[in-house]
Each structure stands twice: as structure tokens, then as C-alpha cells.
Chain A
Amino acid sequence: MKAIVKALARIISAEIIKLRGTFALWLSILYPLGSVMLVSLIWYSQRNKKNINPDQFITDLSNAASFFLPFFIVLLISVACNTEHKSSMMKHILALPIPRPLFYLGKFLGIMLFIAFAFILTIVLAYCVMLIFGIAFPNLGFRNSFNHLLLFRAFFRVYFAASAIYTIQYWLGMRLKNLTLPVAIGAALIILPIAILIVLGIAGLMNNSENFTQSLTYNPYSYPYSAAFSMMQNAEFTIFPTLTLIYIFVSFTALLFGAFDFSRRDVV
């Protein structure tokens, strides 16, 4: 067991060093920066308004983050997997004395560290903005009462809601050699359900916004939006709603299936 953990740690550290020089690192910085800046600009434009609830900042931020999160995950994972494909490294790595499932898992965990980095960076940047706004625009109320716990709970909820995307997209990325294909499939899975629902709404076939949000929950790639949009309706929202737990289970299943598929696949 100790040897497996050590081997896993080596694979993860190799993955981090390798990805540091790729677009993956920039993505992990750009995504939090973009989300926080977007919301900050909106709040900056409302700086003179009075009686604003600072908790709304968290809602806005988690909405923005949840909108960009699936795109960020699809791009990050596809780029990370393509690092091996484009340099023909898969043949080299699989000819090394490393059990294939262990490599599959190690690489996944390495990528997940980049996602965790993006998560932490979003929170750090959010605090920085709130600090600056608190000093510069006292009427926004950031200096008086701010719900720190809400910020963490909201972000944990959004990131866990995306559980199934991590492993499904990872499997796609490892399976398909071309970068375009996993990105296109991922993007289609994010956009198409929303586009269809919007068309249904325009056509008058779906008038109820609750139905709209509910429909999105059945697609793992759109679920983070609905998880974020629906959480503020209930102040006592949970980080792990039933559907998130189901998607976490789906995620584990997809990871196991991916590892199994990777183990028996021929490297042509």
C-alpha cells in the first residue's frame, strides 16, 4: 500500500511539473481571474447604490463561476490529456514499469490539483476584491457583515456539482488523440442542452423557469449551473444535494471504467 501511494505521489508530481509549462496553468489562472473580474466590474458599476446585501456578491460570483466552470474543466482536462498524445508520450509512458490503472489515477489526481488551485485562487481573489471594495466603497457593506461560510459552501457546492464532468471528460481526453474532438464533445454537452431549452422556451413549449432549471440537472455537464442557480433559493442549502451525490457516484464509476478501459487498450 505504501509503495502504491509513493508511486502515485511520483506520478502526480511528474504531472504537475509537466503541466506547469503548458496552457493548463494559464487556464487555471484565467478562469478564476475572469470570473472574479466579471463580477467585480458589475459591482463596481453599482458602487454608489445603497442597501446592497454583500452576500449577493457571493451569489453573483458562484453564478459566474458555475457558468464558466464546465468550459474550464473541459478545456483544462483536454489540454492536459493532449500533452501526452501530441508528443507520442503515451507509448513511452506505458512502456515504463508503471501499472496502467495507477498512471490513469495519478494523472487524474494531478489534473485535479490544478482544478483545486483554480478553486483556491477564486476564493483568494474574491477576498481581495471584497477587501478592496470594503475600503474603497464602504456603502457596499463588505466591512460590516460578510458571510464567510457562505462563500466556501457556495463554491464547494459548485465544484462538487461538476464531479461527473471531471472523470467523463478525462476519459474522453485519454481516449481521443485529437484535442479538438474531446473539446468539441465537451462543449456540445455543455451548450446543446441549454440551447435546446432556450429554443423550447422561445417556442412557448417551456414557460416555467423551474422546469428549465430542473431539465438541466439531468445533464452532468449543465448541472453546475442549476446547482448554483437553485442554491440561493434556500438559505440553508446543502453542499451535497441528492443529485450531486448521484453525480459523485457516477464520477467514481466513470473513473473506474476509464481506468479499466485504459488498462486493456492497445497503444497503436
Chain B
Amino acid sequence: MFRNFITVFCITYTQLPCMEKISPKIIETKDLNFGYGNNLVLKDISLQVPYKSIFGFLGPNGAGKSTTIKTLLGLLHTENGMIHIFGKELNTNKMYILKRIGAMVESPSLYEHLDAIRNLENTARLRNLPFDAIGSLLETVSLTQDAHWPVKQYSTGMKQRLSLAIALLAEPELLILDEPINGLDPNGIIEMRQLLVRINEEKNCTILLSSHILSEIEKLCSHVAIINSGSIVYQGNMKNLLNSSTGIEHLTLQTNDAKKAIALLDSRFNATIKDNALQITVGNKQEAAAIIKLIVDNGLDVYSAERESTGLEASFLHLLNENHL
């Protein structure tokens, strides 16, 4: 009886819409609108970023990601809507909120004629922080060796890392990063990803980052919001998005006779032959197992089977298309 109650409670609780309200939010916006003249760029943005999450803010170019971030930092003034950060209203508690935030807005903001140390010192001075942490921060972003070179000699990746170090200077509780992996090479992207995960785990820092590189957001983020044409089309847990999305997966089979295999599948499955391999669209893993069994039972050999989830990319496109319709 008690066990049943717990089970029912757990199911009910986790499925309750109000569950989102119970869980604490570090950023909460409601019906946020912003426009340039008559052109409305943000339309009723209601964003909820949970504490200690890595929150991905996804959207195509011009969707309103940077504009949303700028409104969260008070760089753009909004007349409509509400912004609460750390549970406090932004406009009336701006200094309190900004003290606890580290931000990197769009391209790296650095004085190119100064070296990394001077750039860090400059922000430390403005934020009234001691210079003690500068050495360890440079080490964190792997710039100790190049710390004395003028920033104009840095690569894009180094500039991004220095910008991140500047954002981390005040040991922020919330890190807001606008396109932090833009312009980075694959190695730089991996380093940045590892660094952000470490900051999130070790310093309990909530990270809100915008990007249009879906694969990175999928690997990095625990939560995600998708914005399109100034409106949020999805927000929530990344796993939920991936699970609740199209459910479509691709199965690639290498067999000894692809033509015979495709004939076996008949019209029940959407299958094609590509590079002598059988490519089949399946709904779930049980379907994939049934297909393999069918082929093997009919005397054909299966050399390899690869099941590939369409993942965030498919969900993203699906949501954008749905939104357009």
C-alpha cells in the first residue's frame, strides 16, 4: 500500500506541470518583448533556467538569442515583461545581480593592445577584485605561457578562452556565454566543452550558453531552450527533448545480399540501398531487432548493424518546422 502510494506519488509528481515551479530557477523571464522600432525581435519570451544546469539556448541566426542575452544583462531595456535573476527583479536589483554574473557577449570583448594579464587586471580593477586569482585563471584556460603577449596576436580560440577567464574572474554563480564556441577549431571546441563541464561541476556554476552548433549543445547541456523568430518553441530537459522527439532512428545493415534483404522487408519499412548497405528508418530498437531477426531467419548473413539516433538535430528541425506551420 505504502509502496503503491510512493509509486503513484512519484509518477504524479514528476509528471505534474507545476513541478517546474517547485524547482528553483536562477533565471526566470515572463512575456519578455523587445523590438527595434516596429520590428519585434523578442515575442513573449518566458525562459526558466534551473540552478546548476548547463542551459543551452538554441536557435538559427537572427532568432533572438543574443538579444535575449543582452536583455538578461540589462544591455537592452525592455518595457514589457519581467526578468528575475537569483529571484530578484533585474531593473531594481541590477548591481546585486551583475555582481554574481560573469558574461561573454557575442565576439570576445578584449583590449587588443593589452596583454592577457592587463585585460584581466582591468576587469578586476573595475569589479573591485584582488589580482590573486589571475594566475590560476590563466592556468585554467591554458594561457599562462602566452599571458604576456598582446591580445592582437592571439588566435580566435585563445581570445575566446581569455574572454571566458575574464567572465570567471568574479567566481560567478551564473555564467552567460553568447556563442562561446564560435570560430573555434575542433580541438578548441573539445577544450571549451571540458572546461565548461568542469566549471559547472566543480564551482556549482549555472551556465547559460547560446549556440547554433547543435552537436555541442547536445553533448554539453542538461537543459535546452529553442528560440525561433523571437519565440521560444521548446524548453526543458535535454533528455526529454531527445526522447520525446520524433523517435525516428536510422539502422544501417551490412549483409551478404542487400537486394534480397530489401525485398524481404517489402513495403513494411522505409529502406534504401546505399554503398551496398541497407539503410532503414525504424521507430525504436525493438523494430531494429525484428528486422535483423527477419533477415537472419531468411538465411542471409548480417555483418554489421549500426543504429543511429537522429538526436537533437532532428528534434530541432522538427520543432522549427512545426513552429513555421
Contact = CB atoms under 8 A, between A and B. Distances in A.
B127 A97 contact: yes
Interface stretch (B11-19, B110-118, B312-320): B110-118
B106 A88 contact: yes
B99 interface: yes
A87 B110 contact: yes
A99 interface: yes
A123 to B, nearest CB: 29
A11 B70 contact: no
Contacts of B103: 92, 95
Contact of A95 (B75, B111, B112, B113): B75
A10 B121 CA distance: 11
Contact of A11 (B74, B76, B95, B126): B126
Given A89-B109, A91-B109, A96 B74 contact: no
A149 interface: no
A21 B125 contact: no
B164 interface: no
A174 B75 CA distance: 15
A63 B151 CA distance: 42
A210 interface: no
B67 to A, nearest CB: 9
Given A95-B105, A96-B98, A10 B110 contact: no
Interface string A5-17: 0110011011001
Contact of B128 (A10, A99, A268): A10
Given A7-B128, A99-B95, A87 B122 contact: no
Contacts of B123: 92, 96
A18 B101 CA distance: 23
A95 B122 contact: no
B203 interface: no
Contacts of B111: 18, 83, 87, 89
Given A13-B125, A89-B110, 5 more contacts: A10-B125, A88-B108, A92-B105, A95-B74, A97-B99
Interface of A: 6-7, 10-11, 13-14, 17-18, 21-22, 83, 87-89, 91-99, 264, 266-268
Interface of B: 70, 73-77, 94-95, 98-99, 101, 103, 105-114, 118, 121-123, 125-128, 166
